[in-house]
Amino acid sequence: MGVHPHEAKEEGQRTPDRLIEATRHPKVVGIGETGLDFYYEHSPRAEQADSFRTHIAAARHCGLPLIVHTRDADRETGDMLEEEYAKGPFAGLIHCFSGGAEVAQRALALGLYISISGIVTFKAADSLRAIVRDIPLDRLLVETDAPYLAPVPKRGKTNEPALVAHTAAKVAELKGVSLAELEAVTTDNFFRLFAKAERSACG
């Protein structure tokens, strides 16, 4: 449950109360996605920042993980995460990671996870692949970001959950582990982070 930074101008949250109330629903297992997007800047930066801080406060209050969106805002995202973490810890992940090594290391230092999308399979993503090689296995997740960013060999198609297998295969190759091992580790990581999700209900 959250407000994307693109919508911060119109729907951005200024107090955590509404988010906290929403987390009482049994299907709400995280806060977000939220964060900073300085690529499109559909909302003013200050309003994105205010909403981001409010989401962090809600995540800290509820103990649910924060799902962070960051694009062209690595330094600002790292600064804000560190500033807010100093006020009290919270769990979370960098969603659809495509940033630089520094923001990854800053997030990992706070105990956050890094979630990898189909971008890791793209021909021009050598820098991302280098970063993935250095992320500890126990901090990795894989995701679709559906309907966007379908992995090779389905690039350009509408993405869907089944295609995450291609992303996982590339990440396993980069980490030098079997696909079965990566599947087991990332599944464990998911349920460790999203502790409210019932493992038995997910098959």
User: What does the alpha-carbon distance between residue 201 and residue 49 come to, in Å, rounded to a whole number?
Assistant: 35
- Domain boundaries defined on the chain: 1-90, 112-198
Res 199: pLDDT: 86
Across 62-82, b (16+ Cβ under 10 Å) vs e yields bebbbbbbbbebbebbbebbe
H or E segment and range at residue 32 = strand 31-37
Measured torsion, CA atoms of residues 30, 31, 37, 43, in degrees rounded to the nearest 10 = 140
Task: State yes or no: cis peptide before 161, omega within 30 of 0.
Answer: no
The sheet carrying 66-71 orders its strands as 31-37, 66-71, 92-94, 113-116, 140-142
Over range 160-183, report the average pLDDT.
98
Model confidence pLDDT, tens digit, residues 54-109: 999 999 999 999 999 999 999 999 999 999 999 999 999 999 999 999 999 999 99
User: What does the alpha-carbon distance between residue 102 and residue 108 come to, in Å, rounded to a whole number?
Assistant: 10
Q: Which of 13, 17, 103, 8 is nearest to 48 (CA)?
A: 8
Model confidence pLDDT, tens digit, residues 20-54: 999 999 999 999 999 999 999 999 999 999 999 99
Residues 5, 36 contacting (CB under 8 angstroms): yes
In this prediction, residue 203 has a pLDDT band, given cuts at 50, 70 and 90, of low
Tokens of 18: 């509404």
- What's the whole-number average pLDDT of the chain? 96
Q: Is the pTM of this model over 0.85?
A: yes
CA distances from 17 to 13, 24, 89, 96 (A): 9, 11, 19, 27
Over range 174-190, report the average pLDDT.
98
